[in-house]
Structure 1
Amino acid sequence: MDAIPVDPTTRHRAAHLGDFTVRPRMLLITGWALLVGGAGAVAALALLRLIGLVTNFVFYQRFATSLVAPGRAHHPWWLVLGAPVAGGLVIGLMARYGSEKIRGHGMPEAIEAILTGGSRVAPRVAFLKPVSAAISIGTGGPFGAEGPIIMTGGAIGSILAQHMRLSADERKTLLVSGAAAGMAATFNSPIAAVLLAVELLLFEWRPRSFVPVVGAVAVSTVCRGFLLGTAPIFPVATAGLKVTAGDTALCVVAGVLGGALAVAATWLVYRAEDGFARLPFHWMWWPAIGGAIIGLGGLVEPRALGVGYDVIDQLLTGRATVSLIIGILVVKTLIWALSLGSGTSGGVLAPVFMIGGAVGAAEGLVFPHVIPGFWAMTGLAAVVGGVMRSPLTGVIFTLELTHAWGAALPLLVSSTAAYALSALLLKRSVLTEKIARRGLHLTREYSTDPLETFFVEEVMDRDDTVLHADDSLDTALTATLRCGDAGRDGRRLFPVDLGDEDAPLAVVTRRRLLDASAKASVTGPATTVREVSRPATVVLRPDDTLRRAAYLFAEHGVTEAPVVGHGPGGRVVGTVALRHLLYARRHDLTEEVHRQRLLPRQGSGRSTVVDGSGARPAPEPARREAADV
């Protein structure tokens, strides 16, 4: 086939379009993310101080900003019962007349902003969310600060991004940078914050987003050291830590028990939400009813109120009494799940830490002693992995909270066991269920895009047919018919030799030739191929991936493109159409559902292929043929 010149501008554009990790943009977004990280740390400090202020004022009638547990001292029954109700009333009014986005525990709202709102968060949410969370937690709500700070930090990043000319993906990166920065500053857990961002917010692991988020988290963690210190939140002494094989096996049991509790708590949250939705009055009043539930629980176990960092510390260091363990396990789980279903404002991580630590501490009453708090740590990692469907985040969170790095393997076993049970029994997590109820779909499985694993040259139509610019339409149509059925369907693209080495690559479809021929037979003189051809909008290379081809097709609104080799003169070696992209998907489907026995049965002398239906298809074909199955 004759060499067909390619326009240098088109060639340059084709070589660079689809590269979505543009280095200058990544560095620019990283620079802005560093500022967002510092702001996230300040926001985390402000929220913690605001929670302390409200708690001290309501339960101790003093002005102080230090975090204090509501249940540390004895309070009148009317205060324990009435404070959460009053807090719920205030939150209901703020949500109705301020912004409904303050309802909930923060992470689903951040996910929804990413999925449907172009990562845009209203500025008022950055103010109302932490204030509402401080009121909710400060009046006894059994919630954590991390969900609100995720929404607040995310709002900071989003507001900054909205003042600049950025894409939705770049706004998402800054939103998640702020959210992760706030999380890292709250718990002094940079690695867990990054993992949480990847597993729950970014929906990708790519340099364009990962690098800025890490930069924001790093700045936030350094700032946190100056503002709140660098010590672990719940330090655990690991001297004498020696985990036997039997202990590791028991971690599976601990994980299953933690996963069962996670499943029950998740189920209870959404049954409560369904129950509140059936109430015959406005949702503005629901948080007050949730507050009444909190108050009743506080009368039974006062230590279940508030954030409960002091209780988590006792559980993880082995200092909790049996009565406290049982009280937290029962009361905290019930009041947290039921009140969260009312749509009040508050996070889920700190309650999950406490509930997980309690179930682990209860297991430690029966399981062999390892070190004080060991089984509480495994329970914490398990419940986080089961409730949030983020097993790695559960492990790293526990390690960064306690600095018990020697317990990494047991925590990984228990968290994964809980994650597996939760995935088997529940379709969605406590976070994604709320997203699904709003009519959105959120994937929780990461896998390689099959379009990334195939190259254009593996699926393209290889054809040496070249049309000449001065050919008549009848001659060109006759030439295209020699290409077989693919040429008769009217969709095949054919390169056109314009006879000028400096001319750009031109193409024409058989359908365009047919239409022009029909028009010429009625209206006038014959038309040549030159008059109906057009410059190629998209030019691909044999070593381009199908993913890049798909992006270019979508960007330019085309369904077929010529493939030009790397040799001298830019020789056209074939064409790729939209239908070829299915080859990769079919290959992926083949690998997932076609089952084979590759080694022969003993004594049979030959291998067999077994699929789920019991049929015996032929042995596995080569890669290209497998894509056609």
Structure 2
Amino acid sequence: MPVPPTPTATSSPTDRSAVRDVGHLGDFTVTRRVLLLVAIAAPLGAVSAGVSWCLLKLIGLITNAVFYGRLATRIVAPGAHHHSPALVLLAPVIGGLVIGVMARYGSEKIRGHGMPETIEAILMAGSRVSPRVAVLKPISAAVAIGTGGPFGAEGPIIMTGGAIGSLFAQLVKFTADERKTLLVAGATAGMAATFNAPLASIVLGVELLLFEWRPRSLIPVATAVSVAALVRQPLLGSAPLFPVTGALHLSPTAYLLCVVSGLLSGLLAVAATALVYASEDLFHRLPIHWMWWPAIGGLIIGLGGLFVPQALGVGYDVIGSELDGSIGLGLVVGILVVKTLIWSLSLGSGTSGGVLAPMFMIGGALGALEAHLFPPVGPGFWALIALAGVLGGVMRSPLTGIVFAIELTHRLEAVTPLVIGAGSAFLVSVLLLKRSVLTEKIARRGYHLSREYDVDPLEVLFVSEVMSTDVLELGSDLTVAEAVASVADAGAGWAQRLYPVVDGDGSLVGVLTRRELGRLAERRGDDPLGQVLAARTLVTTHPDQPLRHVAELMARYEVNRVPVVERDRPDRVVGLVSLTQLLAGRQRDQQEARERERVLRVRLVRPWGQKEEPQAV
């Protein structure tokens, strides 16, 4: 009588590599369809760069028309000159009214700063974006920023570029993953064209939008970003957005203070995030339709503009002054307080605008304030460190903050201080907040998004390490009644629930579950098993396959047990793997994460010349 199957012992990694042929496995999984995605991503990058240029020009046109009464498209600061208090107060209100009407009668998806909406489209809508969003989102953002809104253009550009990429993909028969790739390609291409920061745009795509690190997505995204960066050069120039000159004089004290700057940046990021969602909670309590909320947010902006006009608009001129060290202390304090308040409170109203440029200005203001307290290192050094820290803390993307800071200024010599500052800010942010300004909005809609990426433990364990090797096989010439009797003879402790059916040569011809045998015994007990096998796809795996492959098979074919067959002889069964055994990989991962052990122990060395005491036997 067969004995109940027992899991095989797990060998060491060295032993496994010595006996197992894994030549059929590779570092990455990619097919030639990536070439099709690359072919589409290249023109998509050019289109996204053109859309980015048009959006910047539209922002400049509205700003010049509203605040300066002229027809021009150059980006200017709303608060660069003195304006009538009525204009400063009412322009953002009117802009908010326009956005509210566009959102209610056009598309509600244009509300917000763009990134959460893009993430939601990827995770919950199969990367499908409406064509209406591609048109209305940049217009609404241009209205919001052009009328004084303290926002950046990058969020709307991400949403718009992503919408264009999604539309490209929706015109062709693509999978949801392929649509996601093109959506992110369009979004990051728009970012690269806006800030002339191609590497930071790719890193942002990986940290925030792709939710994977695979050639099938990274290569098309890099293609679109590269084309967008090249197309940008004749349109907007190739120089860094905020060029900074002057040597840095770093000392051990400066490196230690980078930790302090990072901790302060993290606290500011936490405060700004909390303000955004406290504001959103307040707006949801208002007894009026959400269409009117952006106008109220515009009133908050206008009031702030009366005190610090430089806080209005994108604020590239102020960011440049912070990074070259030419900004005054009074303006620094004003920007730090007013910009943080009007950005956080107005964003909660559901208006349209991005988060990157405001974070640049707020973080730069914090660093410029620190420059009056910390020892001098170089022009704008502390503003640069705090800028990366606040950005990394608010978006919970420290690598994006570091690379953005470098590409915006070309301060390559500040890499180590930036890593220290952004890393410290990230530490504070993740310890004090469960979610970022990007993911909190998604959570409030009833969804959960994990930002942690690691190697799937099912990728490092093989089927041969967990499968049951003692398998009860049933001959195809047995009747159903005889098969049921064989199963009963195996004993009550027999854990097998799936039975391979083999012919006279031992070749696999099908499978039957214990439940199927029970049902067949009631009405077809005298029929041979070969005649009652269900017409279904025979799902098998091999001993040298990773468990993730089995998990994919189980999900695709809706089974929870799979026969294991030899690779060279796919009709020979060598084992069975069940859903319970599949979890062995997860169990090992949990053990490595939770179980503490001391690996090395300190042994006291005897003084020189001391003899070892004899031990009793």
Deviation by residue 1:414-447 (Cα, 9 ceiling, x = unmatched)? 1111111011111110010011011111111111
Name which of 500, 506, 513 aligns with 2:517.
Answer: 513
Question: What residue number does 2:546 align with?
Answer: 545
1:240 CA drift (Å):
2.6
* Paired residues of 1:173 and 1:213 also in contact (CA < 8 A): yes
> How has the CA–CA distance of structure 1 residues 409 and 486 changed in structure 2, closer, same or farther, with 3 Å as cutoff?
farther
Question: What residue number does 1:78 align with?
Answer: 86
Question: What residue number does 1:615 align with?
Answer: none
**What amino acid sits opposite 1:50 in the alignment?**
L
Structure 1: distance between partners of 2:269 and 2:93:
27
Structure 2: distance between partners of 1:135 and 1:117:
27
Q: Percent identity, please.
A: 59
Question: What residue number does 1:194 align with?
Answer: 202
Report the more deviating stretch, 137-146 or 585-594: 585-594
1:19 CA drift (Å):
12
Question: What residue number does 2:389 align with?
Answer: 382
* Paired residues of 1:537 and 1:556 also in contact (CA < 8 A): no
Report whether the alignment pairs 1:532 with 2:532. yes
Secondary structure of the residue aligned to 1:71 is coil
Report the more deviating stretch, 593-602 or 58-67: 593-602
Question: What residue number does 2:239 align with?
Answer: 231
Structure 2: distance between partners of 1:369 and 1:482:
85
Question: What residue number does 1:559 align with?
Answer: 560
Q: When the two structures are superposed, what TM-score results if normalisation uses the length of structure 1?
A: 0.89
Secondary structure of the residue aligned to 1:592 is helix
Deviation by residue 1:89-140 (Cα, 9 ceiling, x = unmatched)? 1111111111111110000111111111111111111111111111110011
Secondary structure of the residue aligned to 2:32 is helix
Structure 2: distance between partners of 1:504 and 1:587:
32
Report whether the alignment pairs 1:112 with 2:85. no
Deviation by residue 1:245-288 (Cα, 9 ceiling, x = unmatched)? 22111111000000110000100111111111111111111111
Structure 1: distance between partners of 2:412 and 2:27:
39
**What amino acid sits opposite 2:273 in the alignment?**
T
Question: What residue number does 1:492 align with?
Answer: 497
Secondary structure of the residue aligned to 2:258 is helix
* Paired residues of 1:18 and 1:551 also in contact (CA < 8 A): no
Secondary structure of the residue aligned to 1:70 is coil
Question: What residue number does 1:131 align with?
Answer: 139
> How has the CA–CA distance of structure 1 residues 367 and 508 changed in structure 2, closer, same or farther, with 3 Å as cutoff?
same
> How has the CA–CA distance of structure 1 residues 518 and 258 changed in structure 2, closer, same or farther, with 3 Å as cutoff?
same
Report whether the alignment pairs 1:447 with 2:448. no
1:72 CA drift (Å):
0.8
> How has the CA–CA distance of structure 1 residues 16 and 278 changed in structure 2, closer, same or farther, with 3 Å as cutoff?
farther
Structure 1: distance between partners of 2:493 and 2:533:
19
Structure 1: distance between partners of 2:212 and 2:570:
39
1:71 CA drift (Å):
0.8
Question: What residue number does 1:292 align with?
Answer: 299
> How has the CA–CA distance of structure 1 residues 270 and 478 changed in structure 2, closer, same or farther, with 3 Å as cutoff?
same
1:17 CA drift (Å):
13
1:65-104 maps to which residues of 2 (within 5 A)?
65-104=73-112
> How has the CA–CA distance of structure 1 residues 482 and 541 changed in structure 2, closer, same or farther, with 3 Å as cutoff?
farther
Question: What residue number does 1:581 align with?
Answer: 582
* Paired residues of 1:512 and 1:532 also in contact (CA < 8 A): no
Structure 2: distance between partners of 1:481 and 1:567:
33
**What amino acid sits opposite 2:329 in the alignment?**
V
* Paired residues of 2:500 and 2:508 also in contact (CA < 8 A): no
> How has the CA–CA distance of structure 1 residues 546 and 364 changed in structure 2, closer, same or farther, with 3 Å as cutoff?
same
Structure 2: distance between partners of 1:208 and 1:402:
31
1:13-412 maps to which residues of 2 (within 5 A)?
21-237=29-245, 239-412=246-419
1:471 CA drift (Å):
2.4
Secondary structure of the residue aligned to 1:173 is helix
Name which of 413, 422, 441 aligns with 2:420.
Answer: 413
1:568 CA drift (Å):
4.8
Deviation by residue 1:504-549 (Cα, 9 ceiling, x = unmatched)? 642223333333233345xxxx222222335662110111111111
Q: RMSD between aligned alpha carbons?
A: 2.2
Structure 1: distance between partners of 2:226 and 2:208:
19
Structure 2: distance between partners of 1:403 and 1:131:
31
Secondary structure of the residue aligned to 1:495 is strand
1:25 CA drift (Å):
1.5
1:477 CA drift (Å):
3.6
Structure 2: distance between partners of 1:433 and 1:486:
49
Structure 2: distance between partners of 1:520 and 1:132:
69
> How has the CA–CA distance of structure 1 residues 217 and 486 changed in structure 2, closer, same or farther, with 3 Å as cutoff?
farther
Structure 1: distance between partners of 2:493 and 2:165:
51
* Paired residues of 1:516 and 1:527 also in contact (CA < 8 A): no
Structure 1: distance between partners of 2:177 and 2:273:
31
1:18 CA drift (Å):
13
Secondary structure of the residue aligned to 2:63 is helix
* Paired residues of 1:517 and 1:527 also in contact (CA < 8 A): no
* Paired residues of 2:508 and 2:571 also in contact (CA < 8 A): no
Report the more deviating stretch, 591-600 or 37-46: 591-600
* Paired residues of 2:480 and 2:524 also in contact (CA < 8 A): no
1:564 CA drift (Å):
0.9
Secondary structure of the residue aligned to 1:72 is coil
1:20 CA drift (Å):
9.7
1:364 CA drift (Å):
0.9
* Paired residues of 1:399 and 1:408 also in contact (CA < 8 A): yes
Structure 2: distance between partners of 1:346 and 1:429:
17
Deviation by residue 1:370-427 (Cα, 9 ceiling, x = unmatched)? 1110000000000001000000000000000000011011101111111110111111
Question: What residue number does 2:432 align with?
Answer: 425
Deviation by residue 1:65-90 (Cα, 9 ceiling, x = unmatched)? 00001111111111111111111111
1:483 CA drift (Å):
5.0
Instruction: Return 5+ residue gaps in structure 1 as ranges.
Output: 1-14, 604-629
**What amino acid sits opposite 1:516 in the alignment?**
L
Structure 2: distance between partners of 1:485 and 1:401:
70
Report the more deviating stretch, 555-564 or 340-349: 555-564
1:482 CA drift (Å):
5.9
Secondary structure of the residue aligned to 2:599 is coil
> How has the CA–CA distance of structure 1 residues 161 and 575 changed in structure 2, closer, same or farther, with 3 Å as cutoff?
same
* Paired residues of 2:471 and 2:576 also in contact (CA < 8 A): no
Question: What residue number does 1:9 align with?
Answer: none
Structure 2: distance between partners of 1:361 and 1:592:
41
> How has the CA–CA distance of structure 1 residues 518 and 74 changed in structure 2, closer, same or farther, with 3 Å as cutoff?
same
Q: When the two structures are superposed, what TM-score results if normalisation uses the length of structure 2?
A: 0.91
1:497 CA drift (Å):
2.1
* Paired residues of 1:18 and 1:552 also in contact (CA < 8 A): no
1:495 CA drift (Å):
2.2
> How has the CA–CA distance of structure 1 residues 325 and 483 changed in structure 2, closer, same or farther, with 3 Å as cutoff?
farther
* Paired residues of 2:52 and 2:194 also in contact (CA < 8 A): yes
Instruction: Return 5+ residue gaps in structure 2 as ranges.
Output: 1-22, 605-617
Structure 2: distance between partners of 1:425 and 1:569:
54
> How has the CA–CA distance of structure 1 residues 579 and 56 changed in structure 2, closer, same or farther, with 3 Å as cutoff?
same
1:218 CA drift (Å):
0.7
Secondary structure of the residue aligned to 1:307 is coil
Structure 1: distance between partners of 2:126 and 2:247:
51
Aligned length: 582
* Paired residues of 1:553 and 1:559 also in contact (CA < 8 A): yes
1:580 CA drift (Å):
1.4
